[in-house]
Structure 1
């Protein structure tokens, strides 16, 4: 196990460098100068702009800027925001807790409701319950998340008045319920369908017939044999989905006026501020890689046949 973990950690290094370098190059290839944009339509002194670019290191070659960025990461230095004149790490520290709460609620709804609906549909494959679950999940998959967000905001917020249309207090978990449901709706639909397919397939497996023939209690068969083996593809999807929830929060946070990582990234993209975007993307990449490793290790827990030597 230790060798496997060490090998995976070494494999993460080129992946991390490749992704961050690609995003770094893409951001600095965009037209526009974020330093010049600070003056807007006002007159400016070119010497002052050049001095500011020198202080931020933007007059260095691109490869030198990237190496300096990588060198600062071990100390928690994600660069400096040009518009706010503060470290990007402070922006992340202020916005991350809000997005983390939103993503946690969305992930919880995805796991609980998705697995429950998928299990119910898989155990009753071909019945009206199965058809209803497939129809609802297909509806969630077909409707874009920004359309679903505005529909939920109008119907539950403005018409019924059950929730506030926008989030006024990001620390209030109750106000984050509706945005979390919208954010996790697509993932919930995929988890339900994936669970349903896996359950229906494993019900016909030989080990299930053997467990029934041995006279084991039905609950033990479902919990220890059916669900445990059916969760492997679901866990794989959920591991990837954690990073997807953080990245997908851009649209949801914009609809419900939530000041989190998504809104900060959108504002930075609008200002062509590459340092903030690269810093946030770097954090998401790190989360992706760590969760991917944890998911691989969970395989051995779910399936005793899987062992990492």
Structure 2
């Protein structure tokens, strides 16, 4: 089947592109959608804190549809008599922006960082790129007719950083945040940590390795199936499901980790799936997020 191209046309004769631009200009000149706080204003205030768009490249129709829906909410509350604060600002931080600048500018930030002024030069490249993309985003929003308050105060501005740093200090003083050590996602190319949101996960078929452990109290052998035999030395507990009658005799006992001859507890825990492998599971200090969670829950030490 050949490619079909559509050229949409508005049949309404009273509409024209110029009229649309004139209306948009009028909105800007009269500052219709700017937010102003007045203590004497009796209208209830509603703040719609839009998720800031990530200006790392060209915008697409999905983004337009998403923010048009947010705009509908703002317009609804205006018609209900609310004083609506519907701000626009961009998320101007993060690794995707830096990676995009590397591609567009064809530079290696690690090489630039070898010179005293290199880091600052790369940050300026990122700022110039973001300014360009953000300008295009704002223009698209305006053409869509979105009623945002374009404060143009991104997440890399001195004002924004001052507020976020003050907020972190306040939360720290109130005991609502804490510092802790934990495994992170590390990118060997970018030489930095990655958030879980920046990862793309995929499922693959792999092998199960069956490893024999010895029960300390009885000398019996038990078999554990695992996809990560390289984590054997990090094993600090063995678990089985509380409903798995096959292993009731292991309650309160200990297993000896082969090769390392390390004694670890055998514990009942619903995380173990009786139908997977042999039903016995190694809990390792640095395997995956499940291991990390169980390590903390069971009070184990790496």
Under a length normalisation based on structure 2, what TM-score does the superposition of the two structures give? 0.20
Higher helix share: 1
Under a length normalisation based on structure 1, what TM-score does the superposition of the two structures give? 0.20
Between 1 and 2, higher relative CO (CA 8 Å, sep ≥ 6) is seen in: 1
Higher strand share: 2
